[in-house]
Amino acid sequence: MKAATGEVVTAEELGGGEVHSRTSGVTDHLAEDDAHALRIVRNIVATLPDRAPLPWSVEPAEEPKVDPAGLYGAVPVDSRTPYDVREVIARVVDGSRFQEFKAEYGQTLITGFARIHGHPVGIVANNGILFSESAQKGAHFIELCDQRGIPLVFLQNISGFMVGRDYEAGGIAKHGAKMVTAVACTRVPSGLLLWFTTPRGARLAARLAPAGRMALTNYLTQSLVMALVFTGYGAALYGRTGAAAALGGALLFYGLQLAASAHLMKRHRFGPVERLLRTVTVWGRPVPRVVRQER
């Protein structure tokens, strides 16, 4: 401080507890020691209201009827090879049951209802590149889930919207913007699951920017909450035992609690510190494992 401004000041005078509790008002409480701080925290927690019940019904969780270990073969290694995303959905949702929405229309985007670990979800999964029809279908389904209070799950491995003279003339920008706006304005918890970590896979999220300055932040911070759910779901289900399975179960429970809390408190835009604390980042490509054996 002296070298920068010439001011001689102690650490306590510059930013100590007395300064921030009496003068600046940055802190709400001043503790004399750790024991006093813990008592203050207990008193604060005691004033918090009881958590309300979940706004949706939860049924007993079921294992997918289609072997989840097949996920490693359902998605081809070559991103140019087509595949049916329904094969992925069948290996993730409870009982492999999926009630598809508008199955015959806009077939490059698959939408429908299912349950994951007993919780109802609306699934939006790309089955190729997005056209005007699939974008309109996606916007319709997202708005429907938002009205019904059903959490959304996005399964994504996409290179963006279709481009070309005919598609531009057909209003791809307008129809794509409808889906982007629907995603940005949704009020229910939502989760994003990317199964190929390629640069192209992030373009759909990047296209949320035209919906407003907070669109991308709103979308990603909601997704981070449910990322905990899928991280825990995968760790607990796909062959991980012992401490890893316990951690997976804890992440699953914690993620669901955060998702419910975010919905009930309508806090879908977390601060940077909260966002950091609620983020789970997994580096590296998953290694195929044997499905957990029943004990």
Within-domain flag for 182 = yes
Residue 43 lies in a domain: no
Q: Which of 132-146, 175-189, 192-206 has the lowest mean pLDDT?
A: 192-206
Query: How many structural domains comprise the chain?
Result: 1
Tokens coding 42: 């207990």
- C-alpha span between 103 and 166 (Å, rounded): 25
Please give the order of strands across the beta sheet that includes 109-116: 99-101, 109-116, 119-126, 152-156, 190-194
Convert the pLDDT of each residue in 70-121 to its tens digit: 877 887 777 677 788 899 899 989 999 999 999 999 998 999 999 998 999 9
Q: Is residue 165 part of a domain?
A: yes
Given this model, what pLDDT does residue 189 score?
A: 82
Structural domain includes residue 168: yes
Domain-located, residue 177: yes
- Residue 150 is classified by DSSP as -
Residue 233: inside a domain, yes or no?
A: no
Q: What is the pLDDT of residue 198?
A: 41
Q: Report residue 153: phi and psi, to 5°.
A: -125, 125
The enclosing domain of 148 has a CATH number of 3.90.226.10
Rounded distance, CA 57 to CA 115, Å?
A: 10
Distance CA 2, CA 7 (A): 5
Instruction: Tell me if the pTM is above 0.75.
Output: no
Q: Compute the mean pLDDT over every residue in the chain, rounded to the nearest whole number.
A: 70
Tell whether 60 is covered by a domain: no
For residue 23, the model assigns a pLDDT of: 86
Beta pairing partners, 126: 109
For 168, the domain range is: 71-226
Question: How many Å apart are CA 199 and CA 105, to the nearest integer?
Answer: 28
Q: Which residues make Cβ contacts (< 8 Å) with residue 99, sequence separation at least 6?
A: 112, 113, 114
- Structure-derived torsion over alpha carbons of residues 103, 121, 171, 81, reported in degrees to the nearest 10: -70
The model's confidence at residue 56, banded by pLDDT at 50, 70 and 90, is: confident
Residue 6's pLDDT band (boundaries 50, 70, 90)? confident
Q: Where are the beta strands (DSSP E) in 87-160?
A: 99-101, 109-116, 119-126, 152-156
The larger pLDDT score, comparing residue 28 to residue 280, is at 28
- pLDDT, residue 147, reads 92
| pLDDT higher than threshold 50 for residue 253 | no
**24 or 101: which carries more pLDDT confidence?**
101
Q: Is residue 11 part of a domain?
A: no
